[in-house]
Amino acid sequence: MFFYLLIRDVATGGIREVYRFYVGHAVLYFNPYPLSKNSTQMDGSQLTVNEDGVINDVFPAGELWKFIAKRLNISTQLIIKKDPSCGSYDHGQWSGMVGDVHEGKAHVGLSLFTMSASRASVVSFTTPIFLGRYFIFIRSDEITHVGPNPLELLVPLKHDLWLAVIFTLFAYTTVMAGIFYIQRKTLCDAVFTIIGAFVQKSGKNMAADRIIRFGPLDGITSYHQRITSEQCLRFAAYVTGSVLLSAYSAGIISILTITEPKLPFQNFAEIEEDGSYMLGVTDNSFEYDFFKLSQQKLLQKLFNHQMDIHNLPRSKPEGLSRVCTGTKYAFLSTDLSVQSSWSQQNCNVIAVPIDMFRCTLALILRKNSPYIGGMNFHIQILRGAGLLNHMLILYNIRDTSFHQLYAERNIMELQNIFPIICVLVLGIIFSFMCLIME
């Protein structure tokens, strides 16, 4: 539904000019104010209009126009016209609001339009008002969370780091074997001494084990009679092992207790490769032209095979509704265009970031309009005073990352530590076999 606004220029006295301003469904949906007793509600929107036909609010664009109209000393009157599309290029002509502004049927499009080179050739944009980012919106129950893989016990340390640990153990063991050779100790003692230091086993307890094995009369094994080189090597091995164990413990805890979300796709190529999702965009919009007029084969395949171009949503809220009611339906839109309507959906909608550009949103005017300079000036005043950001808060438009994916906590299960149990069982079996051989 569009609304013509009749503007009377008060400053010029006897001169009277008529301007028409359009508002689409996608914008009407965002009005947060309840209807008053003296207002009526238009079908399919939450726009409030009083008995004189004066607009009360239309998303931030309505608040913006109120400020500009007051500062430029002009009054407006609404004339209603039904046509919800922002406008796209088809068969050499522009449709929707862009087309009407271009053809002179209207002078200003009172909505937030995505700036593009093709649109800029037929209409004039005001200075940028908001910056948006494109997301693909899907239902959260279509996303699976991958639990920890038992083989991921080695993941906290990269392969080169594992090789460095093995080389360090070998180097420490070689040096310790030389020291123990002087003290008439075996190579096996050197190996287990270094391993014990790496796993934080107390060196004093290990010395006590040696005294028990060889008797208290073996003065060479006394803890207090170790040579300085052995003590320095034990200290270095202990510090190295402490750092490695701390790093490994932190990594393994994160892996075993957090499940990562597995997205069905992360870009357009994966959507086309998957083939099970229908991709939707608002009809006669910038996103529609983005696919239709693109020369890239990937985007052409998506437009021809995974988009129902004859049954596209006519507004952003309708697109989100199809995400909830349909099966494997993905809707492409900007974050600013859909945030306020998320809470009104009957399902949990997730924003999947994709490899696409950010967009700039602004009002459109008739080409070479004399009012564009004044409008740009007052938009800059609003920006400098911080009122544009205040509008985002007022209309419940906040950071989209609140609706993005986050890792979920995982309850530890037996299968998560199965490799550790296997190592424990193998150690018991190996020690039992050694006991039998001894």
Question: What percentage of the chain reaches a pLDDT higher than 70?
Answer: 65
CA pair distance 418, 434, nearest whole angstrom: 24
Name 188's Cβ contacts closer than 8 Å, sequence gap at least 6.
none
pLDDT of residue 2: 42
CA pair distance 438, 433, nearest whole angstrom: 9
Q: Is residue 379 over pLDDT 80? A: yes
Q: Is residue 72 over pLDDT 50? A: yes
- With bands split at pLDDT 50, 70 and 90, how would you rate the model's confidence at 79? very low
Give this prediction's pTM: 0.58
pLDDT of residue 142: 73
- With bands split at pLDDT 50, 70 and 90, how would you rate the model's confidence at 437? confident
Name 264's Cβ contacts closer than 8 Å, sequence gap at least 6.
138, 142, 143, 270, 274, 277
pLDDT of residue 310: 87
CA pair distance 95, 118, nearest whole angstrom: 13
Phi then psi dihedrals of residue 104, to 5 deg: 90, 5
Tell me what the mean pLDDT of segment 300-320 comes to. 86
Tell me what the mean pLDDT of segment 192-199 comes to. 80
* Cα Rg of the chain, angstroms: 35
pLDDT of residue 63: 73
pLDDT of residue 215: 45
pLDDT of residue 163: 84
Q: Is residue 141 over pLDDT 80? A: no
Greatest mean pLDDT among 101-115, 190-204, 322-336 lies in 322-336
pLDDT of residue 78: 54
- Tokens encoding 279: 């991709």
pLDDT of residue 222: 47
Tell me what the mean pLDDT of segment 269-274 comes to. 86
- Single-letter amino acid, residue 405: L
Higher pLDDT: 20 or 252? It is 252
Tell me what the mean pLDDT of segment 223-246 comes to. 75
By three-state DSSP, how is residue 300 classified? helix
Query: In whole numbers, what is the pLDDT of the chain averaged over residues?
Result: 71
pLDDT of residue 359: 82
Among the listed ranges 114-123, 124-133, 216-225, 264-273, which one has the minimum average pLDDT value?
A: 216-225
Q: State the angle between helix axes of 335-342 and 316-325 in degrees (0 to 180), rounded to the nearest 10.
A: 60
Bridge partner list, 94: 89
Cβ neighbours of 317 (radius 10 Å): 24
Greatest mean pLDDT among 44-53, 141-150, 257-266, 391-400 lies in 257-266
CA distances from 194 to 36, 179, 187 (A): 80, 12, 11
Phi then psi dihedrals of residue 352, to 5 deg: -100, 115
pLDDT of residue 76: 61
CA pair distance 210, 219, nearest whole angstrom: 11
Tell me what the mean pLDDT of segment 109-121 comes to. 83
pLDDT of residue 383: 85
